[in-house]
């Protein structure tokens, strides 16, 4: 009697971390971050070419940031409604086309207008890249995927100043925008082919909350302008804008309680993981901005370094973040989000505390070592925090929640520009920071990072008091 042949059992298929869809998302995050940092290095050149003031050319940076900040939640929600794949493709196409317009614009105001459109495309790319993670990798690899996206974001941020300076010197200011065109086209083609197909749209689906969208955009724009205009001087205009933002927030909150399908369901803020994740992301991003606002003044005014050395030292932060992102994701998947978030915040606290105490006599190592510790902790925290918030979300929530995560980070950055800059200026005790003595500059840095230590310690307390991961969903 012949034995019945045994049918081999197919092995369990495991979704690879590196796949075409994830490559497309990583490139999208890199391009959006590159667009954020590359324009800063061009401002002196643009001021000379277009015979414009600093206040005018700074809108090349502000227009991009304002578009991202004001629209990132709305585009995330729109992706949940109409389909994330088709919106991502549209966002990449818009980003690429507007990059071309930036490089071909004959006037400064056309460059600014094109940058605003480019920021809209970047908002889509940033919001939906994280939202897509749940559809592209296995659930137990979420941390690694988000860590990879964080790494690509840091690489894009680090590349901006260095590559931008090279391109301007060799090919002119137009090159810093035109360089994104071929990479944008390649990413667009890859996203079109590799991203998961959108599910069939239901006959009756909720529309976009237009009133809520408009109110939120106006509120965020008013707040961002209040925090960035005036170059560190908080005047009457800043106060009016801040009051307008508070009034807009009240109007938005009221409007969201009156519509059947709100842009943001206010009840979600009762979820501990989400509310803690958004609050801590805002707090730590405020501190990270201090390294970019206070750092250059300290390195030049207290340590006497030139522009080249300052640029090289400031690049340490993004480089460290890029190196830590993927390993932090692996550790998050293995040990859990709360453990890695706690370790990351503890490292940030130690780094900020060291910067608040280190004397100028310690020189460059006295700044670089704490900076590396702080940014490594930041990368680990963001990876764990984003994983905690995004893991196990319902499909129809991923876009808007991802947008809110990015928004909390951006609001922290713009807050840091104003708050940390003001604290540093106050700590120097002089009206003209450029002429401040090295001891005064050091005192200002110590005060700014003392506040930073308190802010991070607050974030650490919130995480330690939070419930274990997964409770929010």
What CATH number has the domain bearing residue 148?
1.20.1250.20
- Contact by Cβ (8 Å): 460, 346: yes
3-state secondary structure of 303: coil
Nearest Cα to Cα of residue 388 among 148, 143, 53 = 143
Is there a domain that residue 201 lies in? no
- Based on its alpha-carbon atoms, the radius of gyration of the chain, rounded to whole angstroms, reads 23
DSSP 436: -
Among 218, 245, 262, the domain-final residue is 262
For residue 347, give Cα distances in angstroms to 114, 151, 303, 352. 40, 18, 25, 9
202 falls within a domain: no
Q: What is the rounded end-to-end Cα distance, in angstroms, of the chain?
A: 56
Report the distance separating Cα 290 and Cα 241, nearest Å. 23
**CA–centroid distance for 40 within its chain:** 16
Q: Verify that 445 and 348 share a domain, yes or no.
A: yes
Residue 3 lies inside a defined structural domain of this protein? no
Answer yes or no: do 253 and 276 share one domain. Answer: no
Specify if 10 maps to a domain. no
User: In this predicted structure, what is the pLDDT of residue 441?
Assistant: 86
Asked if residues 190 and 24 have their Cβ atoms less than 8 Å apart, the reply is: yes
CB-based burial label for 232 (10 Å; 0-12, 13-18, 19+):
middle
Q: Which of 262, 282, 299 is the last residue of a domain?
A: 262
From the number of C-beta atoms within 10 Å of its C-beta (0-12, 13-18, 19+), residue 365 rates as exposed
Q: How far apart are CA 389 and CA 471, in angstroms?
A: 10
Please indicate, yes or no, if residue 427 is contained in any of the structural domains: yes
Distance CA(473)–CA(389), nearest Å, equals 8
Q: Name the 3-class secondary structure at 406.
A: helix
In degrees, rounded to 5, the angle at the alpha carbon of residue 193 between the alpha carbons of residues 189 and 197 is: 130
Distance CA 300, CA 303 (A): 6
129 and 52 within one domain: yes
Do 53 and 190 lie in a common domain? yes
Q: Do 395 and 437 reside in the same domain of the chain?
A: yes
Range of the domain at 216: 209-262
Which pLDDT value is given to residue 377?
92
| 3-class secondary structure per residue, 229-278 | CCCCCCCHHHHHHHHHHHHHHHHHHHHHCCCCCCCCCHHHHHCHHHHHHH
Both 341 and 422 in one domain: the answer is yes
Asked whether residue 97 is assigned to any structural domain, the reply reads yes
The answer to whether residues 424 and 282 belong to one domain is yes
Mark whether 330 and 443 lie in a shared domain. Answer: yes
CA neighbours closer than 13 Å in the CB half-sphere of residue 255:
17
pLDDT of the residue at 8: 44
Q: Which tokens go with 89?
A: 């493709």
What interhelical angle do 363-390 and 307-314 show, nearest 10? Answer: 40
Taking the CA atoms of residue 184, residue 72, residue 130 and residue 158 in that order, the dihedral angle to the nearest 10 degrees is 60
Pair (63, 85) in one structural domain: yes
- Say what the pLDDT of residue 352 is: 93
| Residue-wise burial string across 79-95, b where 16 or more C-beta atoms lie within 10 A, e elsewhere | bbbbbbbebbbbbbbbb
How far, in Å, CA of 194 to CA of 197, rounded?
Answer: 9
Cα 362-366-368 angle, rounded to 5 deg: 145
203 located within any domain: no
| pTM higher than the cut 0.75 | yes
Residues 183 and 230 in one domain: no
Angle at 303 between CA 297 and CA 309, to 5 degrees: 80
Res 396: pLDDT: 64
Distance CA 97, CA 11 (A): 45
Angle in degrees, CA 432, 418, 424, rounded to 5 = 45
Shared domain for 160 and 235, answered yes or no, is no
Q: Three-class SS of residue 326?
A: helix
Last residue of a domain, one of 144, 164, 196: 196
Same domain, 128 and 236: no
Give which of 385, 404, 408 is closest to 329, Cα–Cα: 385
How many separate domains does the chain show? 3
What residue spans of 83-179 are helical by DSSP H? 84-104, 108-131, 133-136, 142-171, 175-178
- Each residue's pLDDT, cut to its tens digit, for the chain (473 residues) gives 444 444 443 333 344 445 888 899 989 989 998 888 788 777 778 888 888 876 778 788 888 888 888 888 888 888 878 888 889 999 999 999 999 999 999 999 999 999 999 999 999 998 888 888 777 777 777 778 888 888 888 788 777 777 877 888 888 889 989 999 999 999 999 999 888 887 766 555 666 778 888 888 888 888 888 877 765 566 788 889 889 989 988 988 888 888 777 777 777 777 888 888 889 989 998 888 788 778 878 888 888 887 677 777 877 888 888 888 888 888 888 888 889 999 999 999 999 999 999 888 888 899 999 999 998 999 899 888 888 887 766 666 777 787 888 888 888 877 887 788 788 888 888 776 667 788 888 898 899 999 999 999 999 999 888 764 443 33
Residue 278 lies in a domain: yes
């Amino acid at each position: 009697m012949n034995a019945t042949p045994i049918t081999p059992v197919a092995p369990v298929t495991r979704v690879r971390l590196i796949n075409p869809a994830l490559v497309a998302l990583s490139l999208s995050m890199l391009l959006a971050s590159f667009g954020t940092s590359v324009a800063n290095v061009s401002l002196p050149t643009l001021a000379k070419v277009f015979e414009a003031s600093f206040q005018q050319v700074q809108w090349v940076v502000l227009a991009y940031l304002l578009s991202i900040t004001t629209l990132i939640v709305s585009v995330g929600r729109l992706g949940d409604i109409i389909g994330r794949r088709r919106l991502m493709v549209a966002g990449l196409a818009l980003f690429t086309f507007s990059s071309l317009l930036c490089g071909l614009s004959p006037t400064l105001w056309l460059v600014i207008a094109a940058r605003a459109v480019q920021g809209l495309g970047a908002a889509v790319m940033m919001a939906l890249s994280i939202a897509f993670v749940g559809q592209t990798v296995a659930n137990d690899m979420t941390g690694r995927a988000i860590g990879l996206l964080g790494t690509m974001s840091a690489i894009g941020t680090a590349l901006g100043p260095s590559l931008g300076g090279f391109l301007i010197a060799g090919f002119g200011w137009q090159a810093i925008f035109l360089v994104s065109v071929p990479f944008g086209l390649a990413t667009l083609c890859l996203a079109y082919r590799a991203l998961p197909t959108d599910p069939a749209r239901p006959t009756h689906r909720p529309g976009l909350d237009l009133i809520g969208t408009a109110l939120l955009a106006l509120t965020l724009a008013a707040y961002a302008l209040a925090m960035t205009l005036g170059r560190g001087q908080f005047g009457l205009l800043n106060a009016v804008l801040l009051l307008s933002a508070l009034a807009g927030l009240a109007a938005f909150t009221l409007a969201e309680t009156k519509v059947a399908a709100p842009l943001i369901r206010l009840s979600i803020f009762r979820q501990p993981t989400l509310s803690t994740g958004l609050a801590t992301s805002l707090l730590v991003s405020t501190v990270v901005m201090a390294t970019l606002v206070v750092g250059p003044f300290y390195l030049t005014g207290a340590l006497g370094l030139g522009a080249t050395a300052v640029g090289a030292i400031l690049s340490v932060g993004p480089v460290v973040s890029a190196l830590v992102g993927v390993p932090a994701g692996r550790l998050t998947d293995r040990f859990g989000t709360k453990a890695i978030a706690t370790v990351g915040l503890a490292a940030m606290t130690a780094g900020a505390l060291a910067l608040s105490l280190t004397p100028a006599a310690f020189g460059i190592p006295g700044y670089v070592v704490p900076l590396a510790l702080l940014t490594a902790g930041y990368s680990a925290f963001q990876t764990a925090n984003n994983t905690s918030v995004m893991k196990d979300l319902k499909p129809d929530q991923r876009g808007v929640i991802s947008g809110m995560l990015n928004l909390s980070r951006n609001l922290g950055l713009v807050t840091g520009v104003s708050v940390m800059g003001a604290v540093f200026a106050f700590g120097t005790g002089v009206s003209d920071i450029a002429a401040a003595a090295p001891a005064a500059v050091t005192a200002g840095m110590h005060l700014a990072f003392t506040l930073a230590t308190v802010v991070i310690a607050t974030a650490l307390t919130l995480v330690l008091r939070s419930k274990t991961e997964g409770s929010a969903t």
